[in-house]
Structures are given as structure tokens and as C-alpha cells.
Amino acid sequence: MSVADKTDQISRRSFLEALGVSAGSSMMLRASAAMGLAAASTSCGGGGGSDANASPAPQTPPPPPPDDGGSLASPIPSDWPSNAGANKSVIILGAGIAGMTCAFEMLKLGYTCTILEASNRAGGRNRTIRAGDQIEEVDSNQICNFDADDNLYFNPGPARIPHHHEFILGYCREFGVALEVFTNDNKAALLHSTSAFGGQPQIARSMVADTRGRISELLANAVNQNQLDQQFSDGDKTNIIAMLRQYGDLDSQLNYTGSSRAGFEGQENTGNPDRESMLSPKQLIAIVNSNFWQSQQEFSQSIDQQGTLLQPVGGMDNIAKAFEARVGSTITYEAVVTQIRKTTNGVNVFYQEAGAAETSMSADYCICTIPAPVLVNIPNDFSSAHQSAIQGFQYSQSGKMAFQSRRFWEQDHNIYGGISWTDQDITQIWYPNNGFGQDEGIIVGAYTFGTTAGSNFASQSPEQRISSGTSQGSQLHPEYANEVNRGISVSWPKVPFQLGAWGISDPGILVNADGNIYFAGEHLSILQGWQEGAVLSAYHAVNGIVINDTT
Ligand code: PHE
């Protein structure tokens, strides 16, 4: 990392603290909104929060921070005081991205840090499954039977990083975690509805081209015939029509008669390169009735879901491992928290290591990143407002499944990376964005976004998920029936010490400390369901402690 980068990163990270110290709490609150913390109630979760149906609604961007005369736009170049933590101790509950970010930053400030991690590994939901790995759910165990190969892995939790998630990407840069492109939107992939187009999957490109064509046709003719309430000057009319002809690929009569943009007849299969035969354009009503426009077709328009995102080369857990390499000495693994108590000037945390009796540890502070569905069952003396916020906190029920297979999507269908969508419970099929051209690949055969699909998935045994995932997948790719194998799945609501995929409730009072107990985790950020949210929530907690210790 260059010095300039580092200065920029430090200053951005610390500007909350500087504002908090110098300008008091209202400034602090506004800065928190800018960092994506305090304003969570107005936009919590975006797509993560809109979990009612099988597919997510497109995310709306977070609201702009309140106008403060411009100071929020330019971070204040100062840092948390480097000795803020001298003679101070903190117990961090959970060695996920939020917990390890707290430890990494607080060690630099001189705090004595201890992370209690309930499982036997660091990373939390940041996990990569490879040959021989074990997946434990509350009522099942699976072993991953993929072949051992650097490209044969499955990220059941976070799997893509948007370009503007600059803090998690900053750590990748700082830690030397290599990144590559994650294709989110591949127009060669498929859109499938059991009730549209006779259940035939449609190439995404043809849906996009025909949607644009039909809408442009409608609008260009309306403008041309002065059918809109709004009247345009002749010059504006000419320009609007010119734009719509370009946007929709209309002919000179303003008709949409199909477009080469939609692709060519037979494009879905290799060995069929008749690039001359144009597809007949779909009718507007058929497009409307397909419902693909609800989110699938426009998924990559949202602020957090671009056409291409980033992924660590070799698996998402390279980020977790990089953090662990730096803070691992502070982690006690397989330490299950049994009570969280306040003391006069600090905290007392009770926990149990594997096979040992309950013991306790006290410290000046606690940062609790334990997911709400787990925390709700840990005895504590939090304020009743904090307790009821934890009690009612909802999580996405999402899960994922993956198969090993011959890369039929590349070899037979010219699909390299990206996502196909279906209205069946599996919701999505993800083609691997690594190892192009190899014989075998890992295809994500289900990513159950919605509550119904997620709950159905959770209630199935791993074997049932494989069989229903295979039959649903074969609606898009008949190869599924004979070729996908070694299926493995993770249903987050069933994973011990997680019990949910990501937070979808309003964080409410949980962004405020309760005495010396602070809370962090993606669920308490404006970027729920993202590692960047976990990092922002960690900064918020660290910042609160630093302010407490320095003012
Ligand atoms: N970040 C996760 C993903 O990209 C979960 C998520 C989905 C969060 C959609 C918000 C919106 O799949």
C-alpha cells in the first residue's frame, strides 16, 4: 500500500472519532449516518432487508448524509490516538469479520484484546468449502467430496464484493489478498420462469434487448404522435426519438422488429454458430407477464450489485485467514459464551471451552458480534431496550448449495461465469468465475434469497436439497440430471453459532452501547448482509470506545 493510500485510509477510518471528539454528539450522529450506521432504520438492508419473496427487490441507495456544509464529504485527516488503549482491555465476542476488524484496529491502539470464538475456526460466515471440509448444521453433518483442486471451492457465505466497499477492499490491499473479477451479470446466462414462455429459459440478452426495444417503441410512437400530456418542441421531439431509436434499436418507422443485440437463433448451444438468423422479438405483454423485470433482469442496476464485482482468488476465506494471521494470537477457539454481565466499571464474560467447566474473564469493555438469534439465548444483564431489540431481530433464512460438474455451461452453452435466475426455490445458479476452460468446476446450484425459499431449504435434509436442487436445476440445464454431483449445502439458519444468514431488522438501539458493552456485526450496519457492513460496524464500536477513553 502506498503512503498516500494509507493516509487516505486512516483518515477516512478515523474521521468519526475526530468529529466526535471535536464537535459533540450531533455532529457524531451525522457522521455515523455518513458511515452507514445510525441511519440504518431508513434503509436497512436494501435488498437484504426485502426478503419477503423469492427474489430480492433491487436495492435503493442509502440516503445522502444530511447537509452539514460539506465537511462530511472530505474526511478529517487525523487518527484515533495511538495510545488510546493503554492499560485498557476488551473482550470481543466472535472471530468473524467484525470481531477480527475490532481486534486488528484495537491492538494498534494499545488495547489488550481477547476474542472468544465459539467454533473451531475464524471467519464466521466468511467461509470457503473445499475437498474434505465438514459442514455442521444443527441436525446434520456433511463432508465435502469435491476433488482437491485450487479452483474447486464453494463460498457458502459472502462471495462477491462491490467496488465501493472500500474498507474491506482496503484490507485486501493491505493484507495482499489477491482479487479477481466476479461476474454478476452475464447476458449469456438464463432467465427462467415456470409460467412464462412455456417454461423455456430465455437468454438474458434477448430479454434485455426486447424489453428495451418494446418500451422504446411504445414511447417513441407516443412522442411522435403527441400522445403524452407533456408537449415537446419539435427539436426536443426529434432528439428524444433519436435517443429512443438508439436505446431500443428501432427502425426508421419507429418499430421494433427485433435486434441483433438479442443474439441469434441457437445461441444457447455451442456448435450452432448461425449468426445470421435473428430471433423474433418477444411481445411487450409476454415480457411484462414474465415478471423478470421485478428484479432478476435488472439486478445489476443496484448500487451494491454491479455487472462485475470482486472475489478473492482461491476463495473468500483468504480474507478471514489474512485477518487471522494478524489477530489469531488473541483468539480462544471453541469458547462458547454462557453469560454476559456488567460490572461496576466494565464487563464480566462467562464462557465454556470444549470439555471444560464454565469460567469467566473480566475486562474494561466487551464488543459483542454474536448474531442476534444466538445472542437471544445467552443470559445477560443488558438493558431491557437492548434485550427486546435482540429478541425481535429478524434474519434472512438464506442458504446455498454447490455441485461439482463437468463445465457443461462453458463447453456446451458458452456461459462463462455469471448467474441464471429461476422462479423455483433454488432462485439462482452461479457459474464459477475462476478456472475457465478446465474440465470440472463448482456450480452454485441454489442461492435461496427469499423467506419462503430459504425456509423450505432449511427444512430439507442435505440429501433432499440435492434431489430437489437437481430437479429444479434441470429445468434450466438438462445436463443436471446426469452430470452434477457431490452436492453440498449450507442453510445459515441451521448453522450453530449463526442461526441466520444476515440481519434484516432495523438495528435500532443496538448501535448504542449498553454501559461498556458495545455491539457490532453486519446486522447493525446500513450494509446488512455485506462484509463491508461488518467492518463499518466494527469501526463504530471501536470509535465509541476510543471516544470514551479519550474524552
Ligand atoms: N451480500 C449478499 C449477496 O450479495 C447478500 C445480499 C444480497 C445483501 C442482496 C443485500 C442484497 O448475495
Among 530, 531, 535, 536, the mutation site with the greatest number of ligand 1 atoms within 8 A of its Cβ is 530
| Spatial distance between the Cα atoms of 358 and 246, rounded to a whole number of angstroms | 70
Domains of the chain, CATH where assigned: 3-123+319-393+505-550 (3.50.50.60), 134-171+182-188+396-494 (3.90.660.10), 204-290 (1.20.1440.240)
Q: Which atom of ligand 1 is nearest to the CA of 56?
A: 9
| Spatial distance between the Cα atoms of 363 and 89, rounded to a whole number of angstroms | 5
- As a three-state string, the secondary structure of 377-412 is CCCECCCHHHHHHHHCCCECCCEEEEEEEECHHHHC
Cell (9 digits) for 284? 411487450
Q: Which atom of ligand 1 is nearest to the CA of 502?
A: 5
Name the 3-class secondary structure at 163: coil
**Beta-carbon-side half-sphere exposure of residue 247 (alpha carbons within 13 Å):** 15
**Which residue has 423478470 as its cell numbers?**
292
pTM, rounded to two decimals: 0.88
**Which residue has 438479442 as its cell numbers?**
262
pLDDT score for 50: 36
Among 53, 183, 305, the mutation site with the greatest number of ligand 1 atoms within 8 A of its Cβ is 305
Q: Which one is predicted more confidently, 236 or 13?
A: 236
pLDDT score for 79: 65
Share of the chain above pLDDT 90, in %: 82
Phi, psi of 546 (to 5 degrees): -60, -45
Identify the CA nearest to 363 among candidates 18, 106, 123, 550.
106
Least confident of 47-51, 95-99, 198-202: 47-51
Could you report the per-residue pLDDT of 313-356, keeping only the tens digit for each? 999 999 999 999 999 999 999 999 999 999 999 999 999 999 99
pLDDT of 246 strictly over 60: yes
Name the 3-class secondary structure at 211: helix
363 pLDDT band, cuts 50/70/90, is: very high
Q: Are 216 and 248 in contact (CB under 8 A)?
A: yes
CA 451–ligand 1 middle distance (angstroms): 14
> Where does 171-249 show beta strands of DSSP type E?
179-183, 190-192, 202-203
Which residue CA neighbors atom 7 of ligand 1 most closely?
Answer: 48
Q: At what angle do helices 166-175 and 3-35 cross, to 10 degrees?
A: 150
Q: Are 350 and 359 in contact (CB under 8 A)?
A: yes
